[in-house]
Structures are given as C-alpha cells and as structure tokens.
C-alpha cells in the first residue's frame, strides 16, 4: 500500500514517487508516515529522511530542517 511523496529543496524536486512509508526527523522526534495517515503539518529538524518502497531500494536523504504536510495520501516535504 503506497502513497505519493514529493521532496522539494531550494534546488528543485529531489524526489517524486510512490512509497510505502517515510520516516521524518520531526521537531519532537522521528515520525513514520504510512498510507491513510491523518492530515498533519509539522516542522522538521536535522536528521535522516528515510523513504521505503517495496519496488525500489530504501532512499535516505540527510536534511538540516524543513516542513512537511501529509494530506489525502500525498506527502510534501520542503527541505533546507
């Protein structure tokens, strides 16, 4: 069961595709997003963003902060 993710940096789109789960370094600790997650907007701190998919290898991006929004099975992540 997958959902759409779009990771955007100052340089443009870093990643766009379908994933099964995403783990984000939230302000108060790591949070894992799965399909049908409740709508949520949160700030991100420095750490690793980990996107997992059964179709592709795990993708890890080191970030220094940002924001994320999950709504209607689409996760948008704005990173520094």
Greatest CA separation for the chain: 30
Contact 47, 14 (CB under 8 A): no
Contact 4, 75 (CB under 8 A): yes
pTM of the model: 0.92
Number of domains in the chain: 1
Residues in contact with 29: Cβ distance below 8 Å, sequence separation at least 6, in sequence order: none
pLDDT digits (tens, 9 = 90+) for 8-28: 999 999 999 999 999 999 999
Distance CA 45, CA 43 (A): 7
Q: Which domain holds residue 11?
A: 3-37+46-62+70-79
User: Where residue 17 sits, what CATH number does that domain have?
Assistant: 2.60.15.10
Backbone angles phi, psi at 72, to 5 degrees: 55, 45
pLDDT digits (tens, 9 = 90+) for 62-78: 999 999 999 999 999 99
């Amino acid at each position: 069961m997958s959902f759409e993710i779009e990771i955007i940096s100052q340089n443009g789109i870093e990643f766009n595709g379908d994933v099964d789960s995403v783990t984000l370094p939230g302000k108060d600790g790591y949070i894992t997003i799965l399909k049908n997650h409740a709508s949520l907007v949160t700030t991100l701190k420095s750490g690793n963003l980990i996107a997992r998919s059964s179709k592709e290898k795990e993708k890890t991006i080191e970030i220094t902060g940002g924001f994320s929004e999950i709504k209607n099975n689409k996760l948008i992540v704005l990173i520094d």
